[in-house]
Structure formats: C-alpha cells, structure tokens
Amino acid sequence: MRVVIQKVTKAGVEIEGKSYASINKGLLVFLGIEHTDTGDDTEWLTGKISRLRVFDDNAGIMNLSVQDVQGEIMVISQFTLHASTKKGNRPSYIRAARPEKAIPMYEDFIRKLEETSGCRVCSGEFGAYMSITLVNDGPVTISMDSKNKE
C-alpha cells in the first residue's frame, strides 16, 4: 500500500458536482492498493498514520498526532499511486489491485483507521471520478509505502 498524506486545514471531495464529504483540520490520505497487499499492510499503515506527529505543539514544533489534536481524516482511493513510468510515456498501472480485491481492502482500511485513530474518518467513493479541494497546512506532505516501511 502506498499513501500520500497531506496535513490540511480543510479538504473536500465532490462527485458529479455535489459535495460528498469534507473535513476541517486533519489529514487527507490518498491511498493506493497494490495487488500483493494484505491485512498486515493495512495494520502497519493505519497505525503509522494515526500516530504520525505532524501537528504543532505549543512551542511550534511538529510533535502532535491527528489523535492529539482531535483532527479529522479523509481517505481517497488513488490507484495512480502505483503508476510505473519506467517504459514509455504512458503510465502502467499493472501493480494496482483490481477492484474485487481493492474495494474490500479500501473499506477495511477506512474502518481500521477510524478504530486506530479514534478520529472521524470520511472518504470519497471508490472508482468514482472525484474533484478534491484542499488547503495544505505547512505545507506538509508525506508519502509512505508499506513495502518499504521507511
């Protein structure tokens, strides 16, 4: 699994021109699921995201997690995080999980993230064409891959 996490002051998702979900202060998580991903990847990433200390404490140091600041989390499915651009100019998405595997993992990821973080977690709609708006705070943008665990 790969994620791109952005610390935001607000974020929203629209589907077919209508507001679908929104959050205030918190994390916007773009999630890409690979065909080799398992529940272990979900466990590791949801734990890391819940405890990721990217919010300022009273001294202005990034020392607090989304849990600590009682923030919100939005998860957006994004298979393009597994794009391979090694050959040619048209990205290949062969490593991205097919919907029959990805949808249950996406739903499990959202449930587990809500459980682990104790925060309100909302999402977009898997497979839908979505318009995402966000105000990146910092800016802070972090990428993680459960296969590298850096």
Residue 76, amino acid? I
Residue 26, amino acid? G
Cα 50 from Cα 44, distance rounded (Å): 10
Residues catalogued as catalytic: 78-80
Q: Which helix (H) or strand (E) holds 44?
A: helix 39-51
On the 0-12 / 13-18 / 19+ scale of CB atoms within 10 A, 17 is exposed
Q: Which two tokens stand for residue 149?
A: 């665990």
Report CA 82 to chain centroid distance, whole Å: 14
Of the candidates 80, 83, 70, the residue with the CA atom closest to the CA atom of residue 121: 70
Q: Which two tokens stand for residue 9?
A: 């002051």
Cβ distance 65 to 50 under 8 Å? yes
